[in-house]
Amino acid sequence: MLVAGCLVATAVAWHSFWLYDGTEFGAGELAGNNAGGALLFALAVILAFKFPRVASGSALVACVLSLPLYLYLVFPLPFRKVWPGEWATLEWPRESFVWNRWWALGIISVGLMASVSTVTLIRSFSARKQIQIGT
């Protein structure tokens, strides 16, 4: 489940990277963090077979890096209200919700990966604790 979810999340992250590459938005903080998230998702796919805890940690960090871009693209007005700051455009977006299946898939895949990674880490630490108690 960890590998499949990371593959979907990697595909969505690379799609957004290629879409915004070379634009002013692509060089910004949101899209730049998403590129790092894509690399960490790909790393998690590779590490999942031998080191599942490290892969889960990598996937959790990738979720934190990738989620803000997807939230901004689907919910632009609420995102700007919740996270004010210095934006390149001074005018506020008019839409509260913009439907795009890629960005919705990004939100769903990041949520799935965060839950799968958390469950994997909790199970591995509880199994490790049981082994230490038993010896």
What's 26-37 look like in SS3?
A: CCCHHHHHHHHH
Percentage above 90 pLDDT, the chain: 52
Does pLDDT of 135 surpass 60?
no
Confidence tier at 24 by pLDDT (50, 70, 90): low
Determine the average pLDDT of the residues in 52-76. 93
Rounded to an integer, what distance in angstroms lies between the CA atom of residue 17 and that of residue 31? 7
What ranges in the chain are assigned the alpha helix state H?
2-20, 29-47, 52-74, 76-82, 101-134
Of 16-25, 40-49, 50-59, 93-102, the one with minimum mean pLDDT is: 16-25
Confidence tier at 131 by pLDDT (50, 70, 90): low
The chain-wide mean pLDDT, for the chain, equals 87
Determine the average pLDDT of the residues in 66-74. 91
- Residues with Cβ within 8 Å of 45's Cβ and at least 6 positions away in sequence, in order, are 3, 6, 7, 10, 55
Determine the average pLDDT of the residues in 46-54. 94
Does pLDDT of 21 surpass 60?
yes
Does pLDDT of 126 surpass 80?
yes
Percentage above 70 pLDDT, the chain: 89
Does pLDDT of 27 surpass 80?
no
Torsional sign, CA 83, 35, 9, 40: negative
Does pLDDT of 97 surpass 80?
yes
Residue 106 token pair: 């990004």
Ramachandran region, residue 51 (left: φ > 0; alpha: ψ -120 to 50; beta: rest)? beta
How far is CA 114 from each of CA 23, 44, 95, 117, rounded to the nearest angstrom?
29, 12, 27, 5
